């Protein structure tokens, strides 16, 4: 039993992915620097992680820094990396308290060494947690991921002439995880911004108007309610629960 009676636990997404957007606008609206908005974005990260773990969602993927975000002013990038280190250090306890395993997807080796070390430590500490996996997408871009996967497959000696979706998926950052059934983007923007292009082929997209720092559990509960009212057809003519069910 959870304290969210409006959510049907039988129809819970196994994997929720979130494009956390609007930190800069949130800060601007208060006459502050953009980094102030990024700092305020830590509370909703905690709320989203706790809510999903409480509900029984198995994977939560948060888009925290894209391959394109490197083009932002150095002062913002540096501040974001510093915030990342500080947050991981501070929130490892939240992860332990909620039995959440941390995982990172993206070109992790492009992050500053201190971030890599902090991430590696938190991943190690939380590795036996089993309630939910939290994927932080850092220096992540879907086009980068797909190109890397193809290169890794070729290097591993896969049969490239008979390449299949199953082979590609073995080399994606998300290998072994179900595709997100629900993709949420905050701040009212209707675009994907190079996020999980392969994995969201049949995801339900819910756009929330609120800016990320204003997001709380109730907003995410609302997004899950919207998802649960959708009829998913996967190209067929009637509602089915998953692509697998359609195939069989
Ligand atoms: C999302 O907020 C956080 C990151 C991309 C790191 P933004 O920084 O994109 O905020 P807006 O979209 O400019 O308001
Ligand atoms: C997407 O947001 C990336 C993250 C949330 C990390 P952006 O703010 O970078 O995307 P655009 O520029 O609006 O497409
Ligand atoms: Mg943005």
Assess whether the C-beta atom of 215 lies below 6 angstroms from ligand 1: no
Q: Is the pLDDT confidence value at 1 over 60?
A: no
Residues linked to residue 134 through DSSP beta bridges, in sequence order: 60, 102
- Looking at the CA of 138, which ligand is closest? 2
CATH class of 9-247: alpha beta
Assess whether the C-beta atom of 69 lies below 6 angstroms from ligand 1: yes
Structural domain boundaries in the chain: 9-247
Assess whether the C-beta atom of 44 lies below 6 angstroms from ligand 1: no
| Distance between CA atoms of residues 80 and 64, nearest Å | 9
Which pLDDT tens digit goes with each residue over 179-217? 999 999 999 999 999 999 999 999 999 999 999 999 999
| Distance between CA atoms of residues 76 and 22, nearest Å | 14
Q: Would residue 99 show up in a list of annotated catalytic residues for this protein?
A: no
Determine the longest span between alpha carbons in the chain, in angstroms. Answer: 56
DSSP tag of 60: E
Taking the centre of ligand 3 as the mean of its atom positions, its distance from the CA of residue 149, in whole angstroms, is: 27
Dihedral over Cα of 217, 67, 103, 97: its sign: negative
On whether the CB atoms of residues 7 and 224 are closer than 8 A, the answer is: yes
- Write down the mean pLDDT value for the chain: 97
Which pLDDT tens digit goes with each residue over 125-173? 999 999 999 999 999 999 999 999 999 999 999 999 999 999 999 999 9
Cα angle 202-240-243, degrees, rounded to a multiple of 5: 45
Tell me the CA distances in angstroms from 25 to 81, 150, 169, 183, 214, one per residue in order: 19, 37, 36, 21, 11
**Which residues, including other chains, have CB under 8 Å from residue 186's CB and lie 6 or more apart?**
18, 19, 20, 21, 22, 207, 208, 210, 211, 212, 215
Rounded to the nearest 10 degrees, how much is the dihedral formed by the CA atoms of 11, 221, 37, 80?
-30
Which atom of ligand 2 lies at the shortest distance from residue 191's CA? 14
**Six token digits for residue 88:** 């991981």
Assess whether the C-beta atom of 195 lies below 6 angstroms from ligand 1: no
Catalytic residue, candidates 21, 23, 98, 129: 21
Tell me the CA distances in angstroms from 42 to 65, 80, 87, 196, one per residue in order: 13, 11, 7, 22
Which pLDDT tens digit goes with each residue over 123-136? 999 999 999 999 99
- The environment of the single-atom ion ligand 3, i.e. residues with CB closer than 5 A, is 21
For the chain, the residue count is 248
Nearest to 176 by CA among 135, 233, 136: 135
- Ligand 2 contacts (CB < 6 A) are 19-21, 63-66, 69, 189, 191, 193
**Six token digits for residue 124:** 């190690």
pLDDT of residue 242: 85
Q: pTM for this one? A: 0.97
| Distance between CA atoms of residues 112 and 118, nearest Å | 10
Residues linked to residue 185 through DSSP beta bridges, in sequence order: 19, 207
Q: Would residue 97 show up in a list of annotated catalytic residues for this protein?
A: no
Instruction: For ligand 2, pick from 66, 137, 200 the residue to mutate: most ligand atoms within 8 Å of CB.
Output: 66
Taking the centre of ligand 2 as the mean of its atom positions, its distance from the CA of residue 193, in whole angstroms, is: 6
């Amino acid at each position: 039993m959870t304290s969210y009676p409006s959510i049907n636990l039988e129809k819970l997404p196994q994997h929720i992915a979130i494009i956390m957007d609007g930190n800069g606008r949130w800060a601007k609206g208060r006459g502050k620097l953009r980094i102030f908005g990024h700092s305020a974005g830590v509370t909703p990260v905690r709320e989203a992680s706790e809510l999903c773990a409480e509900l029984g969602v198995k994977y939560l993927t948060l888009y925290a820094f894209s391959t394109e975000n490197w083009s932002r002013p150095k002062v913002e990038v540096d501040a974001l990396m510093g915030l990342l280190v500080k947050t991981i250090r501070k929130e490892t306890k939240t992860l332990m308290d909620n039995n959440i395993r941390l995982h990172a997807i993206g070109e992790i080796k492009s992050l500053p060494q201190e971030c890599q070390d902090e991430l590696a430590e938190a991943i190690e500490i939380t590795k036996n947690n089993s309630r939910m996996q939290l994927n932080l997408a850092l220096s992540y871009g879907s086009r980068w991921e797909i190109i890397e996967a193809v290169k890794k497959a070729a290097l591993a000696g896969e049969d490239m002439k008979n390449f299949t979706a199953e082979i590609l998926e073995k080399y994606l950052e998300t290998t072994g995880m179900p595709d997100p059934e629900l993709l949420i983007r905050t701040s009212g923007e209707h675009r994907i911004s190079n996020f999980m292009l392969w994995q969201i082929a049949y995801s339900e997209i819910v756009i929330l108007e609120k800016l990320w720092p204003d997001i709380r559990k109730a907003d995410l509960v609302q997004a899950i309610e919207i998802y649960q009212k959708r009829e998913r057809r996967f190209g067929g003519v009637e509602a089915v629960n998953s692509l697998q069910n359609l195939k069989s």
